[in-house]
Amino acid sequence: MDNKTDLIEYLLRLGDSTLIQGQRLCQWCGKAPALEEELALMNVGLDLVGQARNWLEYAAELLDDGRDADDLAFRRDERAYRNLLLVEQPNGDFAVTMLKQFLYDAWHLPVLQGLSQSSDERIAGIAAKAVKEVTYHLRRSGEWIERMGDGTEESHKRMLAAIPEVWRFTVELIAFDASEQHLCEAGITPDIASVAAQWQAKVEQIFTSATLPVPAAPNYFYLNARKGLHTEHLGILLAEMQFLPRAYPDATW
């Protein structure tokens, strides 16, 4: 692959992950445990959808095949998506949702901080704006992990049950492939090892504060979202998310 192809692939990974995580959070609308939490979840979800538009718009411009960000979001099939396996997993209970969000945020923030120093000015600008939002996302999700992990007997039990449910999907947060390595060497993306180390340190800090065990880092999962190999949950989510744009492709709002 050349750098342009690698960059398109990377932008799709960023855009798809923020889009799918945002969609999952918005599924809590009308179901959150408290009104304040519903508003907070929706705000985080909208932040992520806005970031997704920025990444997918850039990807569409580089693809230059007539598609725009909406086409990339709503008119691709499951195998064309490059989002992290972690974000496509079902919401589960509130403990599962917040653990997914925290594990994602703890990775997302150092990625964006590194991208804000990118040699690609467009990427640096998008990332610098997103850093402000994701700094809040991580603070909020980290506080919830501490609150539930070191809270009541019931909340602690639910956090313990949530960890094995989602932990195996974190392998993609600390692994990289040749495409990402090329972009890193070109100064476009941050050092993968540094991001993985920052993620691990933040997870250990919050889990320890929350009186939760830190599992061993996963080193393998049989699916690979970088190659479009997803769990069964993504297809179901896309069927819901894409229904209107596919049913009424010429509709305007």
With bands split at pLDDT 50, 70 and 90, how would you rate the model's confidence at 84?
A: very high
pLDDT digits (tens, 9 = 90+) for 193-235: 999 999 999 999 999 999 999 999 888 888 899 999 999 999 9
Question: In angstroms, rounded to a whole number, what is the distance separating the alpha carbons of residues 130 and 45?
Answer: 13
Q: Considering the chain, what percentage of its residues have pLDDT values greater than 90?
A: 85
Residue 156 has pLDDT above 80, yes or no: yes
- pLDDT for 249 equals 84
- pLDDT for 221 equals 85
Asked if residue 231 is part of any domain, the answer here is yes
Long-range contacts of 215-224 (CB under 8 A, 24+ apart): 215/163, 215/164, 215/167, 217/170, 217/171, 217/174, 218/167, 218/168, 218/170, 218/171, 219/171, 220/171, 221/85, 221/168, 221/169, 221/171, 221/172, 223/85, 224/172
Asked if residue 253 is part of any domain, the answer here is no
Residue 38 has pLDDT above 70, yes or no: yes
- pLDDT for 116 equals 98
Question: In angstroms, rounded to a whole number, what is the distance separating the alpha carbons of residues 61 and 56?
Answer: 9
Task: Write out the two tokens for 11.
Answer: 């932008």
Output the CA–CA distances (angstroms, integers) from residue 109 to 1, 102, 104, 145, 219, in the order listed.
Answer: 27, 11, 9, 17, 22
Mean pLDDT estimate for the chain:
94
Nearest to 105 by CA among 132, 54, 149, 142: 142
Q: By the 8 A CB rule, do 58 and 123 touch?
A: yes
Question: In angstroms, rounded to a whole number, what is the distance separating the alpha carbons of residues 70 and 251?
Answer: 12
Q: Taking each helix axis from N to C terminus, what angle separates 35-63 and 94-115, rounded to the nearest 10 degrees?
A: 40
CATH code, domain carrying 176: 1.20.1260.10
Q: Considering the chain, what percentage of its residues have pLDDT values greater than 70?
A: 99
Q: Taking each helix axis from N to C terminus, what angle separates 178-185 and 192-209, rounded to the nearest 10 degrees?
A: 110
Question: In angstroms, rounded to a whole number, what is the distance separating the alpha carbons of residues 206 and 213?
Answer: 10
Task: Write out the two tokens for 211.
Answer: 């009186």
Number of domains in the chain: 1
Return the higher-pLDDT residue of 217 and 165: 165
Question: In angstroms, rounded to a whole number, what is the distance separating the alpha carbons of residues 108 and 130?
Answer: 10
Question: In angstroms, rounded to a whole number, what is the distance separating the alpha carbons of residues 233 and 239?
Answer: 10
pLDDT digits (tens, 9 = 90+) for 121-147: 999 999 999 999 999 999 999 999 999
Residues 6 or more apart whose CB falls under 8 angstroms from that of 207 comprise 145, 149, 213, 214
**pTM for the full predicted model:** 0.95
Nearest to 106 by CA among 79, 137, 129: 137
- pLDDT for 36 equals 87
Residue 1 has pLDDT above 70, yes or no: no
Residue-range definition of the domain harbouring residue 99: 3-247
Asked if residue 252 is part of any domain, the answer here is no
Asked if residue 107 is part of any domain, the answer here is yes
- pLDDT for 222 equals 85
